[in-house]
Amino acid sequence: MAQGLTRVPVREQNPKVRATNFEEVCYGYNKEEAVEEAKRCLGCKKPKCVEGCPVSINIPEFIAAVKEEKFDEAFKIISQSSALPAVCGRVCPQESQCEGKCVRGIKGDPVAIGKLERFVADWARENGIKPEAPAEKNGKKVAVIGSGPSGLTCAGDLAKLGYDVTIFEALHKAGGVLVYGIPEFRLPKDRVVGPEVENVKSLGVKIETDVIIGKTVTIDELIENEGFDAVFIGSGAGLPKFMGIPGETACGVLSANEFLTRNNLMKAFDESYDTPIVHGKKVVVVGGGNVAMDAARTALRLGGETHIVYRRSEEELPARKEEVHHAKEEGIIFDLLTNPVEIIVDENDWVKGVKCIKMELGEPDASGRRRPVEVPGSEFVIDCDTVVMSLGTSPNPLISSTTKGLEINKRKCIVATEDTGATSKEGVYAGGDAVTGAATVILAMGAGKAAAKGIHEYLSQK
């Protein structure tokens, strides 16, 4: 193959070994590898990659700095646009964003933008480089609800503009899905997420954990009694969906949110933590998204034979290709074109199997995907002792139901303008999964960025 067509490969943990531990799968580039990969960037005048990035990082410029081994300069360039580069470099679906637009990708591999971003962020952390705090405060207070990707981004941007920002988080740890949802082996908590949150705090952002907006205090009270001039809602989409099939409340049936929260946030896989987890001997994960892959790979690491049950075919799996590939390498079994119809339980109300029906693909539906249709009489039972339901999530109605004048749509999502995040209530902005329903980390960050701009414009005129 001609030189420059293939990307510098990234070192990974051996699949057989990593299937038994919670260490990070991908080791990332070292200095030499990063510089070599950076040399593949053509430094386009009109860079398509930047268009593909929801927070518009100046990609050619930071890669040029990497090429010249000016890593601190590269970090500064990324930090102008992103507050969470070590996270995004790891979990963004680059193939459909920046890397999907890279001209190198037309003939050969696109430049490994995500891995380079990750390298720069990891290098900055290891060398103690932090983003710079603003010189002056402007005396205005903004409350940010939720410390997930949208909230952290919005808070970081507002702090850089001189606002006095407080993030309110319901859980005991900041990070949202970064700490409770995405597993340790894809996104290390103490090593990567923790320092990234600390970076946002070093910009002057205060984080108050253990505060549930809508219960502990309402948005109206924050504005009326605590002197906040504006509010950003980044409360995400955290309510799990269940199938509504018989037997779903049996012992051993968990939502992916519960299963992952026990493992990631509560560290149930580690004996020195108090939270227990079911170590299933044979686990069925229902669903085909990234969360399903995370749950399945977690169950596998806890020692169980793990199956993914999905009603469409491999082609339609909504999960990232890389995640599906990793799951297969580790030994996850895919039962495709299969849909559960009933959970079968034993005399103690524990799961002993899932009754499934075979599916075939019919005509494309409104979303353009071929609709799965049941094959009559094809029911069969998969024996198992644990079932993890990973069917998606929806926004929690707690905030919308306790805030006067906040409009929501029929999917319980908060209605907000895309470019400014403005909601139907003056001074209240929203973004991320709370507005769009479950989407990606980087889209939530983009929305947090847009809302920070919207809030700044609003408060500047006030």
Partner 1 sequence: MFKILEAEQLSANVYKQVILAPRVAKSCEPGQFIILRVDEHGERIPLTICDYDREAGTVTIVFQPIGVSTNKLVALKAGDSIADFVGPLGHPSDLVTDDFEEVKKKKVVFIAGGVGTAPVYPQAKWLHEHGIECDIIVGARTKDILIMEEEMSKVGNLYLCTDDGSYGFKGVGTAMLEKLVSEGHHYDLCVAIGPMIMMKFACLTTKKLGIPTVVSMNPIMVDGTGMCGACRVMVGDEVKFACVDGPEFDGHKIDFDQAMKRAAMYKTEEGRRFLAFKEGATHHGGCGNCGGDK
Q: Does 149 contact partner 1 by CB under 8 A?
A: no
Q: Residue 424: which of 412, 409, 406 has the closest Cα?
A: 406
Residue with tokens 């702090």: 159
Which of 11, 16, 172, 411 touches partner 1 by CB under 8 A?
A: 172
Residue with tokens 């079932």: 387
> How is the beta sheet containing 428-430 ordered, strand by strand?
206-208, 164-168, 141-145, 230-233, 428-430
Which of 396, 420, 436, 440 touches partner 1 by CB under 8 A?
A: 396
Helix, strand or coil, per DSSP, at residue 63: helix
Alpha carbon of 197 to those of 21, 104, 380: distances in Å? 25, 34, 47
CA distance 451 to 319: 28
Q: Does 243 contact partner 1 by CB under 8 A?
A: no
* Minimum CB–partner distance for residue 269 and partner 1 (Å): 12
CA distance 399 to 455: 19
* Minimum CB–partner distance for residue 205 and partner 1 (Å): 19
Which of 101, 189, 262, 320 touches partner 1 by CB under 8 A?
A: 262
* Minimum CB–partner distance for residue 234 and partner 1 (Å): 15
Q: Does 374 contact partner 1 by CB under 8 A?
A: no
Q: Does 278 contact partner 1 by CB under 8 A?
A: yes
For 250, phi then psi, to 5°, come to -65, 160
* Close Cβ partners of 79 (under 8 Å, ≥ 6 residues apart): 85, 131
Which of 272, 376, 404, 461 touches partner 1 by CB under 8 A?
A: 272
Residue 172 or 281: the one with the smaller Cβ distance to partner 1 is 172
CA distance 362 to 326: 29
CA distance 146 to 430: 11
Q: Does 146 contact partner 1 by CB under 8 A?
A: no
Stretch that binds partner 1, among 139-147, 266-274, 300-308, 357-365 (CB under 8 A): 266-274
Q: Does 255 contact partner 1 by CB under 8 A?
A: yes
Q: Does 276 contact partner 1 by CB under 8 A?
A: yes
* Minimum CB–partner distance for residue 430 and partner 1 (Å): 18
CA distance 294 to 98: 23
Alpha carbon of 346 to those of 242, 247, 250, 262, 351: distances in Å? 21, 11, 9, 25, 6
Q: Does 391 contact partner 1 by CB under 8 A?
A: no
CA distance 39 to 257: 41
Pattern 178-217, binding to partner 1, x per CB under 8 A? -------------------------------xxxx--xxx
Stretch that binds partner 1, among 271-279, 297-305, 373-381, 410-418 (CB under 8 A): 271-279
Stretch that binds partner 1, among 51-59, 267-275, 308-316, 419-427 (CB under 8 A): 267-275
**Binders of partner 1: how many residues, by CB under 8 A?**
42
Residues engaged in binding partner 1 (CB under 8 A)? 170-172, 209-212, 215-217, 238-240, 242, 244, 248-252, 254-255, 257-258, 261-262, 266-267, 271-278, 348-350, 393, 396, 398
